[in-house]
Chain A
Amino acid sequence: MNKGFSIDCIGYALFAVFVVLIIPWSANYSGYDLNVYARYLVLGMAAAAVALSWGTAGILNLGQALTFGIGSYIMAMHLKLKASGAQAGGMPDFMVWTNMEKLPWFWEPFQSVSFTLAAGILVPVAIASLIGGFMFRGRITGVFVAIITLSFMLAVQLWIISEQRFTGGQNGLTGLATLELFDWSVDVYGLAFYYMVAGCLLVVLTLGLLFLRSKAGLVLRAIKADPERTRFFGYDVSTYEIVAFAISAGIAGIAGMLYAMILGFASPTYMGLSLSLAFVIWAAVGGRESIVAATLGGIGVNMAEGRLSDLFFDQWTLILGVIFIVVVLFLPRGLFGLVMDLRIKLESHFMANPISRMNTSLDKHRSETTASQREGK
């Protein structure tokens, strides 16, 4: 909690500069590239969501794509309604084709922008709290959490695909209007939109970091190390797990909403196992212990994919698989772990500094202690 704060701040500042200044500059402040970068930022946000509960609390959520997908569907519902004003009863086209008589009641509230924005965060949070409560109050951990979250996501995905008259089915929600936020018509290829996305990302990361760097985050780390012991100190472990889980879901929901705007559609394909695992891979590559590193992992991998998939079109997925195996085997703490280890090595060479002292002179201390113990006995 206390340590290393100033150094971390430098890291955060660099990240902010990268996102706010360097990227837009390299995209020449407008156009298609900017939209692509905005997409990378959003995917990075999703990776951060996974890292928050996984890296800190040890909760592997294989169903993160569910909350992400719900966020995107919520935004898409609003935008679809906006585009369907001319239709009978304001119904989206697929409802007309499937012979629906009128707009289902649960679609109605999404006419309002404010409701949509609130729902995009609160619905994923509510769902996560319910599923989280169901699991964590039952003291379910580890692999079983992964399976339950995965199964639930698949069940919802199946439902969405099957209920075409409510959800657009396999095709998803397409033909979306442009979002209008309080008189601002959001052009997703414009600089303003990019800054909106970047702003959301920075706000989300800041709030996440505030949470993780507080004692609550410390308790989560204790829970990851030894949940039973944590209980014996009076902490209600399941509540902490539910909160972490819900916060991750909220972040994923925001990312999902932005993604629907960027893509221009929402689809059940983005609510599946592959995307969930992709989030996990990006967080793993960046470093699951740090949400900023995980975000960079998401941005980095997708950026690499964007650049290299033209060159290696056929083999990109293969390369990704290999990278993933390598990371899991040799870099369990991701690139972040690598940087941290390097930092410690450098410091112990060049600086006399408490951080280096604590780790490198430990062996000396231990051998001294054991020697005196032997004498004492």
Chain B
Amino acid sequence: MAALTLEKLTVKFGGLVAVNELDLHIRDGELRCLLGPNGAGKSTTLDLICGKTLPTSGRILLGNQDITHLPEFKRARAGVGRKFQTPTVFKDLSVIENLEIGRSAFPGVFSTMRVFRTPIRGRIREVLSLVGLEDEIYTKAENLSHGQTQWLEIAMLLMQDCHVILMDEPTAGMTAQETKQTASLFRELQGEHTMIVVEHDMAFVRDIADIVTVMDCGSLLAEGSITEIETNAAVREAYFADTGDDHA
């Protein structure tokens, strides 16, 4: 069964068509990488799926559920989680508090009113050691390093434990070591979770991708395995089209 389906999804901003009749079928448990040159509409597609932007036309189906017109928080409850391009954590809150927010299985106000402690055991402990933040439990998020903040956001998503996870450039600003760790983490998550990853780091993509979708100018350009994509002429043109010169 498809975990996520986009049907002729379109969004226009004034005259600009940012996403153009995009059709996407993502199977349950898949790890789909979304590639494309700058301005291709990748982040916008993620925005559309999680509800940050509303489409001009088209449909979004989560499993069998039409979520096209649901507000963001309902989509999150239905099982869509999003990691943003620039790490977006709650700067005034500590690491453990951020994770507690991530733990949103019971998000209603009358449920949260009854929770007073975050016991540091079980899942939370697991996640903390997975992302290497066990020593920073009470540190305010704004005092973390860039890499640590990325990790914190990933940790929050792990706590959220939603079925479909949207990752927007998860390794941006990470060291090589951290990127490797992220790759192994993703491989672990795959299967239980369905993931859509927007990335530019090709080594990372090769490491984790099942199927790769390439976008250009808001439309789907090519789809297939990594090798198929790399040898696709249209893709090469889209990436290198305007430049006559070398760019490293």
A interface residues with partner B (beta carbon < 8 Å): 1-3, 211, 213-216, 218-219, 221-222, 224-226, 228-237, 239-240, 243, 354-355, 358-359, 362, 366, 369-370, 373, 376-377
Contacts and interface: CB of A to CB of B under 8 A. Distances in A.
B37 interface: no
A377 B175 contact: yes
Contacts of A376: 175-178
Contact of B147 (A215, A216, A373): A373
Nearest to B82: A232
A235 B50 contact: no
Nearest to B88: A229
A358 B96 CA distance: 13
A89 B71 CA distance: 54
Contact of B93 (A222, A234, A239, A362): A222
Contacts of A233: 73, 76, 81, 101-102, 104, 107, 156, 160
Contacts of A226: 88, 90
A235 B75 CA distance: 10
Interface in B48-71: 50-52, 71
Contacts of A366: 143, 145
Interface string B14-42: 00000000000000000000000000000
B176 A236 contact: no
A216 B109 contact: yes
Contacts of A219: 101, 109, 112
A147 B94 CA distance: 33
Given A214-B116, A219-B101, A369-B145, A2 B88 contact: no
B148 A214 contact: no
Given A216-B109, A221-B93, A221-B97, 13 more contacts: A1-B96, A214-B116, A215-B113, A215-B116, A216-B113, A218-B112, A221-B90, A225-B90, A231-B73, A232-B72, A232-B76, A355-B138, A359-B140
Contacts of A221: 90, 92-93, 97
Contact of B94 (A3, A216, A229): A3
Interface of B: 50-52, 71-73, 76-77, 81-82, 84, 88-94, 96-97, 100-102, 104, 107-109, 112-118, 136, 138-140, 143, 145, 147-148, 156, 160, 175-178
25 contacts: A1-B100, A2-B118, A214-B112, A214-B114, A214-B115, A215-B112, A216-B112, A218-B101, A219-B109, A221-B92, A225-B93, A226-B90, A231-B71, A231-B72, A232-B81, A232-B82, A234-B76, A236-B73, A236-B108, A354-B138, A359-B140, A370-B145, A373-B175, A376-B175, A377-B175
A362 B115 contact: no
A218 B97 contact: yes
Given A216-B112, A225-B91, A235 B97 contact: no
Contact of A222 (B71, B90, B136, B175): B90
A236 B72 CA distance: 9
A233 B143 CA distance: 22
A214 B113 contact: yes
B135 to A, nearest CB: 8
Contacts of B178: 376
B73 A218 contact: no
B143 A362 contact: yes
A234 B117 contact: no
Contacts of A232: 50-52, 72-73, 76, 81-82
